[in-house]
Amino acid sequence: MRAILVEQGGGPEVLGIRELPDPVPEYGEVLVRVRAAGVNRRDVWVRSGQFGIPAAGLVPGSDAAGDITAVGPGVVGWQVGDRVVVYPGSSCGRCEACRSGRTNCCPQFSPTNGAYAELMAVPVARLAAMPSGITFEEAATVGVPYLTAEEAWLRTGAQPGQVAVIWGATGGLGVAAVQLARLRGMRVLAVTRDEDKAERLQREGAPEALLWDGQHSLAAEVERRTGGLGADVVFDPLGAATFGQSVTMARRGGVVVTVGTTTGSRVELELREVFTKRLTILGAFLGAAGLLPRLLGLFSRGVLTPVTDRAYPLDEAAEAHRALEAGHVFGNVVLTP
């Protein structure tokens, strides 16, 4: 099979196309012909070597959609030809968290790799049936972005009428957060650094787009727009560059939810501001596997609309990463092996 193999950490140039042996499904696994693979910010971190690169190299990519081409021993309920979406995380399947459906709380939980390839061997526990009314390219954008955003809103207890500030609102995760917040009836203040993207956000259902110059604080503008109260929830995937602002712009009793560290993971925190304002600071990661079928159903019924900036052939994975890192993307990017 053709696959992207990263043999050492580095820039987009390390995303080399290789011919690798076809994987063979083991007990409880199926072989999936990947029709589309989502490109996420985590893939950039994997490619750069932040999590280490094994001696044999690795195939990046967490999100995939495709069809089953072979079934391994012990598999029941799935057959060749079934269209599937791959859940982008793995867990032990045995602990109390897994048995109760909280797979993302498993001590062994980890995001997965392997989607930048023509074929994947996948445990059936990580499969969701792909519904009608959605394409492979659309289905491949649901996993990491929407599972993370949904987990964040569930953890914050988001309510209709609440004000949500969403940093990085034009990326895949940001667009997912905007759509899911609007679905809950929240008032969204969507932050972007690009004027053209601000106009696009308005067309996508976020009429209040805030332009940020990357330096000055937006806390005063949020306070002005909320009548001096501040935001009920601040959704922050950026980390170091914005976290201090996020704490400041949250209202008394508000919530700051951190979902990423695009600009860095080290922050300084004024604890007095946290306890005097009675703030809650939450972390949100990939939502549990059981959320994926529900989210796919929302797309299938047209409740949510996929936003894909561009699809690249597999051998142009480096170009897809360059576009993502340069901020030239609105919504999601996919690869088509």
SS (HEC) of the chain: CEEEEECCCCCHHHCEEEECCCCCCCCCEEEEEEEEEEECHHHHHHHHCCCCCCCCCECCCCCEEEEEEEECCCCCCCCCCCEEEECCEECCCCCHHHHCCCHHHCCCCEECCCCCECEEEEEHHHEEECCCCCCHHHHCCCHHHHHHHHHHHHHHCCCCCCEEEECCCCEHHHHHHHHHHHHCCCEEEEEECCHHHHHHHHHCCCCEEEECCCCCCCHHHHHHHCCCCCEEEEEECCCCCCHHHHHHHEEEEEEEEECCCCCCCCCCCCHHHHHHCCCEEEECCCCCCCHHHHHHHHHHCCCCCCCEEEEEEHHHHHHHHHHHHCCCCCEEEEEEC
Give pLDDT, residue 38: 98
Residues 68 and 176 in one domain: no
Q: Are residue 119 and residue 167 in the same domain, yes or no?
A: no
Please state, in angstroms and rounded to a whole number, the distance separating the CA atoms of residues 129 and 67. 10
Q: How far apart are CA 256 and CA 236, in angstroms?
A: 7
Q: Residues 216-238: what's their mean pLDDT?
A: 97
CA distances from 137 to 140, 181, 196, 251, 335 (A): 5, 23, 25, 39, 8
Task: Return the pLDDT at 51.
Answer: 93
Token pair 């088509």: residue: 336
Can you tell me the distance from the alpha carbon of 311 to that of 315, in angstroms, rounded to the nearest whole number?
A: 12
Residue 64 inside a domain? The answer is yes
Q: Would you state the pLDDT for residue 129?
A: 98
Residues 69 and 119 reside in one and the same domain: yes
Question: What is the CATH number for 45?
Answer: 3.90.180.10
Q: What is the tally of structural domains in the chain?
A: 2
For residue 139, is it left (φ>0), alpha (ψ between -120 and 50) or beta?
alpha
Q: Return the axis-axis angle of helices 143-156 and 172-183, rounded to nearest 10°.
A: 40
Overall average pLDDT of the 44-73 stretch: 96
**Are 124 and 78 contacting, i.e. CB atoms less than 8 angstroms apart?**
yes
63 belongs to a structural domain: yes
Are 320 and 235 found together in one domain?
Answer: no
Q: Judge whether residue 131 has pLDDT over 90.
A: yes
Does 295 reside within a domain?
no
Is residue 299 situated within a structural domain?
no
pLDDT at 99: 95
pLDDT of residue 154: 96
Domain that holds residue 277: 145-283
Is position 223 within any domain? yes
Looking at the domain assignment, is residue 93 inside a domain? yes
Q: Are residues 99 and 6 in the same domain?
A: yes
Q: What percent of the chain has pLDDT over 90?
A: 97
Q: How confident is the model at residue 203 (pLDDT cuts 50, 70, 90)?
A: confident
Residues 131, 169: one domain? no
Confidence of residue 235 (pLDDT cuts 50, 70, 90): very high
CB count within 10 Å of CB 226 equals 17
**Average confidence (pLDDT) over 250-261:** 97
The model's confidence at residue 54, banded by pLDDT at 50, 70 and 90, is very high
Give the tens place of pLDDT for each residue, 79-88: 999 999 999 9
Q: Are residues 38 and 6 in the same domain?
A: yes
Average pLDDT score, the chain: 96
Same-domain check for residues 136 and 6: yes
Which tens digits make up the pLDDT trace of 147-199? Answer: 999 999 999 999 999 999 999 999 999 999 999 999 999 999 999 999 999 99
Average pLDDT over residues 241-269: 96
pLDDT reading at 204 higher than 90? no
pLDDT at 9 over 90: yes
Cα pseudo-dihedral 85, 91, 96, 100, rounded to 10: -10
Q: Are residues 72 and 175 in the same domain?
A: no
Closest by CA to 204, choosing from 179, 167, 177, is 179
296 lies in some domain: no
Burial 15-42, CB ≥16 within 10 A → b, else e: bebeebeebebeeebbbbbbbbbbbbbb
Q: Quote the pLDDT of residue 205.
A: 84
Q: In this structure, is residue 290 part of a structural domain?
A: no
Same domain? For 149 and 131 the reply is no
The stretch 203-228 carries a mean pLDDT of: 94
Q: Which residue in this structure is represented by tokens 């001096």?
A: 228
pLDDT exceeds cutoff 90 at 73: yes
**Bridge-partner residues for 33, per DSSP?**
67, 119
Please give the model's pTM, rounded to 2 decimal places. Answer: 0.96
Mark whether 261 and 136 lie in a shared domain: no
* Shared-domain flag, residues 168 and 132: no
Of 329, 295, 102, nearest in space to 193 by CA: 329
